[in-house]
Amino acid sequence: MRVDITMQLTTEKFTLKNLDCAACALKLEKELNALEGVEEALVDFAGLTLHIKARDMQAVVAAAHRIAPEVELIPKSGPQAKPGADKTELRTPVPRREIGFLLAAFVLFLIQLFFEKYFHQHHLGLLEAALVLAAYLLAGGNVLLNALRTIRKGLFFDEHVLMMIATAGALIIHAYAEAVGVMLFYKVGELLQNKAVSRSRRAINRLLAVKPDRAWVQTPFGFEEIAPEQVRVGDLLLVKPGERVPLDGEVITGRSWLDTSALTGESKPQTVQIGDQALAGQINQSGALTLRVTRPFRESSVAKMLDLVENATARKAKTEKFITTFARWYTPAVVILAAAVAVAPPLILAGATFEEWIYRALVMLVISCPCALVISIPLGYFGGIGKASREGILIKGSNFLDVLSQVGTVVFDKTGTLTQGVFEVREIISLYGFSQEQLFEFAAAAEYYSNHPIARSILSDFAKRGKTLDASRIMDHTEISGKGVKAGYGEHTIFVGNDQLLHAEKILHDKCDFDATVAHIVVDGRYAGYITIGDALHPDAEQAVHDLRAQGVHRIAMLTGDNYCTAQAVGKHLGLDQVFADLLPEEKVTTLEQLGAGGPQRKKIAFVGDGINDAPVIARADVGIAMGASGSDAAIETADVVLMTGSPAKIVAAIAIARTTRTIVWQNIVLAFTIKGLFLCLGAMGLASMWEAVFADMGTALLAVVNSTRVLRGK
């Protein structure tokens, strides 16, 4: 297929309707990735979603239809997306016709089983063969059709092909009961497996069912119900009691309690009134509210959360990638081994018959399908991501679940992470002839255009005292990264910042130690005084540190740009192992690298921060964690994990969910390998029948699927 290489790459998502086979999902992914013009194709079997990056989407859809004709691609993103495509039903309906065929086949199977001796005694072999063939075709007709379609494409290691070879071989060697029975129970097991997978998907997606589906928008003719995607910034919305807030907005009228658990995992309702922010996805519990929309739906909190969770499945863990690769080689290897078992012993061993050893080979074929692994592992990771999102923790990929489970060192930023980031001016010390009022005015003028939490606290306290600034007198405002700010105010040049700023500007000053955050003030090149600012610890910071140690995290440290004495006071109160203070953003990265180099092998290092200056170190950590409630956009975009609240305790929950998920995934791997390995050996030795093999195969898949959803029920 020729594709114009000048075409731009685009990324889209499709719902995969009627995809009910894990092996088919692997085949679709492999063949789409082999297409010219496709940079990346990823099939998420757990979420029934295709993530595709390609130059020609129409060619991709056409190719997917050729590869899997029964699978319908429904656009979830891009220009062809249909409204409600993201809510595609994940239930796998069982056709009544198929159940009817299975019941008829079962009746014929029982007749053949009970009258087998009668047929033999009265030489009614043709009648018996007709009954068996009818039962076989009724039970496995669609299996045979799918197998033939697969063979026509040049593929020979599909589960349907293997089942056709195994049961057809049993018919040839006159093992009628096994041929029909295995096909019957394979189909029944397949139906049960599909039902279990469907139920698991729905259980996971119920955790994510927080997207509002309507909004009441004020018009000249009253309130009109429209889709949230059609609402514009500035529109007025009515949110009735019991309804979800459809978009982020500011409360204009009304007072109510909002259930925020869908976004933050917090069970305690939050009260809102005029002037407060309400976020999309929250549930209005009491009074009616009128909101003015502040962000379009695609940029709302709930839209970003759902997008992060959905795209998380596109980042596969190493374990998941290994199993995908393993499955491609495992089945061909078992088929080759089975062929050797069927042919070699009768040619080598005295007294060995082809009929006996072919039967053993057929048993091995039945157990060779890797479905238990291919289905259960993505479901396990998807369940972990869904559970985390329900707790207000957004994990951007199953690969980060794996890294979180191996964290041995947690490094915190201080301001806004371990502390609340709500600063209050405690003391103003003026030196060298300036009054406190003058010094405070100079500091407020220098910080006027800054968004730093310290700047906001100084300006807030300045306003509370009833004072105002003439902004026209402020000139040449400059942010000095990691140190402070510089500005002109009237005829004065003012610097406000930390101790590093004083050294950088070579300002003479007395050495002073503080147990609070300090903003030093320099006016016209002379040290004029300082303002001390307090920042309270987060209420659950101490408990979070204790719980992390209980989880086996061996080292907890803090990196901060704040002064040494303040940092040491916080570190001592919380019982941290190491505290590094007076750090610039680039120095934080260097220090984190040193911490990582000094840690134990195979243990990962996590960094938790919220500010724009934390983005570099968040990116450098093995797993970067951002505080979503107070964090900057840069930190949230860079992070691998986003906490929807400012609570450090959520880190404990994230690690616990990651470890539970990894445990479940490895339980499934061990279960599948053990049972399949055992039955391959038993089959080769003639100690297992085809009945036992099909029960073992389908039973393993069912157990693995059920086990995969256990994370959803965890506390």
pLDDT for position 204: 58
More confident residue, 408 or 287: 408
| 47-72 tens-digit pLDDT | 778 888 888 888 888 888 888 877 88
Higher pLDDT, 414 or 510: 414
Average pLDDT over residues 144-171: 80
Q: Which CATH number describes the domain made up of 393-418+537-659?
A: 3.40.50.1000
> 11 to each of 54, 57, 83, how far by Cα in Å?
7, 9, 18
- Name the 3-class secondary structure at 592: helix
Separation CA 281–CA 246 (nearest Å): 6
**Of the candidates 693, 696, 672, 682, the residue with the CA atom closest to the CA atom of residue 167:** 693
pLDDT band at 598 (very low <50, low <70, confident <90, very high): low
What are the backbone dihedrals phi and psi of residue 17, each rounded to the nearest 5 degrees, phi first? -85, 140
| Complete edge-to-edge strand list for the sheet that includes strand 283-284 | 270-272, 256-259, 283-284
3-state secondary structure of 7: coil
pLDDT at 525: 87
Whether 235 is catalytic is no
Q: Contact at 8 Å (CB) between 361 and 327?
A: no
What is the C-alpha to C-alpha distance for residues 165 and 171, in angstroms, rounded to an integer?
A: 10
CATH fold label, 10-87: Alpha-Beta Plaits (3.30.70)
Write the pLDDT tens digit of every residue in 88-106: 444 455 567 888 888 999 9
For 92-142, how does the pLDDT look when each residue is reduced to its tens digit (9 = 90+)?
Answer: 555 678 888 889 999 998 998 888 888 888 888 888 889 999 999 998 888
- Residue 262 has a pLDDT of 62
Which CA distances in Å does 202 have to 87, 114, 379, 476? 11, 42, 11, 57
Q: Which structure tokens are listed for 227?
A: 């889709």
pLDDT in tens, 255-310: 888 887 666 656 567 888 888 888 888 888 888 899 999 988 877 777 776 676 66
80 CB neighbour count, 10 Å cutoff: 15
Q: Which strand ranges, in their side-by-side order, compose the sheet holding 222-226?
A: 222-226, 215-219, 236-239, 289-293, 249-253, 277-278
Q: How many CB atoms lie within 10 A of CB 691?
A: 15
Three-state DSSP class for residue 553: coil
pLDDT at 547 over 90: yes
d(CA 344, CA 338): 10
Neighbours of 469 (CB within 10 A): 15
Task: Using alpha carbons, select from 459, 391, 233, 354 the residue that is nearest to residue 711.
Answer: 391
pLDDT for 308: 65
pLDDT in the model for residue 88:
46
Q: What does the pLDDT read at residue 579?
A: 92
**For the residues 433-455, what does the mean pLDDT come to?**
87
Q: Residues 632, 615: contact at Cβ < 8 Å? A: yes
How many CA atoms, within 13 angstroms, populate the side-chain half-sphere of residue 110?
5
Check residues 628 and 499 and name the one with the higher pLDDT: 499
Taking residue 247's Cβ as centre, other Cβ atoms within 10 Å add up to 30
**Residue 417 CB burial class (10 angstroms; 0-12, 13-18, ≥19):** buried
Dihedral Cα 565, 568, 569, 575, nearest 10 deg: 180
Strands 49-54 and 419-430: unpaired
Which of 321, 338, 331 lies closest to 369 in space, CA to CA? 331
C-alpha–C-alpha distance, residues 618 and 640, integer Å: 8
Fold of 420-536: Calcium-transporting ATPase, cytoplasmic domain N (3.40.1110)
Distance CA 49, CA 301 (A): 22
Say what percent of the chain tops pLDDT 70: 86
Q: Long-range CB contacts (< 8 A, 24+ apart) of 93-96?
A: 94/191, 94/194, 94/195
Inter-residue contact 560 to 580 (CB < 8 Å) = yes
Count of beta carbons in the 10 Å neighbourhood of residue 344: 12
pLDDT band at 80 (very low <50, low <70, confident <90, very high): low
Cβ neighbours of residue 160 closer than 8 Å, sequence gap 6 or more: 143, 144, 146, 147, 150
Token pair recorded at residue 263 = 């976004």
Tell me: pLDDT of 180 over 80: yes
Rg (CA), the chain: 33
Looking only at Cα atoms, what is the longest distance across the chain?
A: 123
pLDDT of 618 > 60? The answer is yes
Structure tokens, 498: 């930390």
- pLDDT score for 655: 94
- What confidence tier does 545 reach under pLDDT thresholds 50, 70, 90? very high
Count CA atoms closer than 13 A to 366's CA, side-chain side.
39
Tell which residue, 573, 561, 565, 495, has the closest CA to residue 530.
495
Buried/exposed 382-394: b ≥16 CB within 10 Å, e otherwise = bbbbbbbbbbbbb
Number of neighbours of residue 35 by Cβ within 10 angstroms: 19
Beta strands at 215-219 and 236-239: parallel, antiparallel or unpaired = antiparallel
Do residues 395 and 655 touch, judged by C-beta distance below 8 A? no
Per-residue pLDDT for 73 more than 80? yes
Q: How confident is the model at residue 561 (pLDDT cuts 50, 70, 90)?
A: confident
**On the CB side of 638, how many CA atoms lie within 13 Å of its CA?**
25
What is the spatial distance between Cα 487 and Cα 459, in angstroms, rounded to a whole number?
15
**Start-to-end Cα distance in the chain:** 51
Paired tokens of 281: 């996805």
Of the residues 56, 413, 499, 614, only one is catalytic, namely 413
pLDDT digits (tens, 9 = 90+) for 654-709: 999 999 999 998 998 888 888 888 988 898 898 888 888 888 888 888 888 888 87
| Cα atoms found within 13 Å of the Cα of residue 277, Cβ hemisphere only | 8
Other CB atoms within 10 A of residue 122 CB? 10
pLDDT at 503: 84
Mean per-residue pLDDT of the chain? 82
Average pLDDT of the residues in 636-661: 88
- Residue pair 528/431 in contact (Cβ under 8 Å)? The answer is yes
Q: Where are the domains of the chain?
A: 10-87, 96-204+316-381+662-713, 215-301, 393-418+537-659, 420-536
8-state DSSP, 244:
B
The tokens 């239930």 sit on which residue? 91
Q: What is the C-alpha separation between 645 and 66, in angstroms, rounded?
A: 46
Average pLDDT over residues 338-360: 90
Please give the pLDDT value at position 493.
Answer: 93
Q: What CATH code would you report for 215-301? A: 2.70.150.10
494 - beta bridge partners? Answer: 487, 523
Phi, psi of 603 (to 5 degrees): -95, 135
